[in-house]
Amino acid sequence: DDDGEDYVLGLIEEICEDTDVISCRRMAPLIKSIPLSGPGGIHVGVFELMLRQEPVDALYGFFSRHGLFTKSWDIKLVLAQLCAIDGIECNRQEAIKVQDTNFTMGEESFVLTIPEEEEVIDTLY
């Protein structure tokens, strides 16, 4: 429920602001942690999904960190498998590789969103 999630996220923010007492490595709770293996059962890493994180965005980061794009892994196939898991809700099929809600270029500030299929340089140009 959104009210419960809002409460938890607000509490985390309030507690983590006190850096003299607490050190927080992330600002959202982990809701799923799934070990992923490649061909032959070789362990690749642990896919982690945070509260309110879109699975395709988390998966894009996982693929990038583990070099899976260069190993010809199919992100759409893995996403379909993840979306079939109970408790994982997928609302998008295309990842957002860059999002900045207060991006400044020159005198202008705006929301910068770059989907996975777009080149960063082309969007900035």
pLDDT at position 46, please? 97
pLDDT at position 47, please? 97
Contact 13, 29 (CB under 8 A): no
Q: pTM for the complete prediction?
A: 0.76
90-124 as b/e, with b when 16 or more CB fall inside 10 Å?
eeeebbebeeeeeeeeeeeeeebebebeeeeeeee
CA 68, 74, 76, 81 torsion-angle sign: negative
pLDDT at position 108, please? 87
| Model pLDDT for residues 58-97, shown as the tens digit of each residue | 999 999 999 999 998 999 999 999 999 998 999 999 999 8
| Helix and strand numbers, DSSP H then E, in the chain | 4, 4
Q: What is the band of 120 on the pLDDT scale with cuts at 50, 70, 90?
A: confident
Residue 1 confidence (pLDDT) above 70: no
| Model pLDDT for residues 5-56, shown as the tens digit of each residue | 777 777 778 778 877 777 888 778 899 999 999 888 899 999 999 998 999 9
